[in-house]
Structure 1
Amino acid sequence: MALTSEATTIWKGTLFEGSGDVSLDSSGLATFGVNWDARAAGVANTTNPEELLAASHSACFCMALSLALAQAGHPAESIQATAAVTFEAGRGVLGSHLLVSARVPGITEEEFERFADDAKANCPISQALAIPITIEAELA
């Protein structure tokens, strides 16, 4: 069964002077302020699309790695992953770098690196970075 998750952004104003709010609609857990300054200069108390993408990538990676390790008989005690998503104005999103640390009893460093590489390549968010995008647009 497929699950569709939703988030909504309401933006007011121009790119550089305007701002918006991103709401996590499916869970209702949070609403985040977003603006250009957060994207270009990392201003505090507001977020940007790349930070939200980094949150998605790190969470998805941890889930994929946890599953793969458990299925192979090596359940992880803990996994910490930081995704650093780089954005450059005029060029867009340049990449996502995963920094991973885990406690997995009974596994070698080489085995762990193979599991981590597989999770990096196959977690749904890694794969989603090249998915088809559809749109429905109407002028209000």
Structure 2
Amino acid sequence: MATAQSKAHVDWSGDLLQGNGQVSVGSGSFGPLPISWRTRTERGGGGTSPEELIAAAHAGCYAMALSNTLAKHGSPPENLSVDATCNFEFGEGGARITSIDLNVTGRVPGLSEEEFKSIAEEAEKGCPVSNALRNNVDIRLNAQLA
């Protein structure tokens, strides 16, 4: 079986709270992007965070999974708009990603709202990023037609 590999690299200097780094991806399609504790917790300073990159990966993967699942059901979408929010929280056990909210709006001729929601749930079960996170992160899906 063929394996597709994706790579990323970070150069980091300093400690957690005062330090900072740069993340780049192996494809060179974006970056390097600045990362720091401040950009992770305050969402300021023009950088990104691991959680933002997870949200981007999840939104992209889910859009592909839903597009494929809709086509398999004979209803390819005209358009899908997917927003993912990765929730990073602090608690007694420390900091952790607790949940991801996936919000999708689709323009899919010929489907009812109920059919679209059912197919959207099926696609979430087959999404590779969802499956990598499942049983560790609560994934909440909200799907609606445009």
TM-score (norm 2): 0.85
SS in 1 for 2:74: coil
Q: CA deviation at 1:99?
A: 0.9
Map of 1:112 onto structure 2 = 116
Map of 2:37 onto structure 1 = 36
Structure 2, unaligned runs of 5 or more: 136-146
Structure 1, unaligned runs of 5 or more: 132-140
Stretches of 4+ aligned residues off by more than 4 angstroms: none
Q: CA deviation at 1:91?
A: 3.2
The number of aligned residues is 130
1:73-112 deviation per Cα after TM superposition (whole angstroms, max 9, x unaligned): 1010000010000001323101100111000000111110
Aligned Cα RMSD in Å? 1.3
Q: Return the alpha-carbon distance in structure 1 between the equivalents of residues 9 and 125 of structure 2.
A: 28
Q: CA deviation at 1:71?
A: 1.3
Map of 2:3 onto structure 1 = 2
Query: Which structure has greater strand proportion?
Result: 2
Q: Is the 8 A contact 2:80 2:106 kept in 1?
A: yes
SS in 2 for 1:43: coil
Q: CA deviation at 1:61?
A: 0.3
Identity of aligned residues (%): 40
Q: 1:130 to 1:100 in 2, by over 3 A?
A: closer
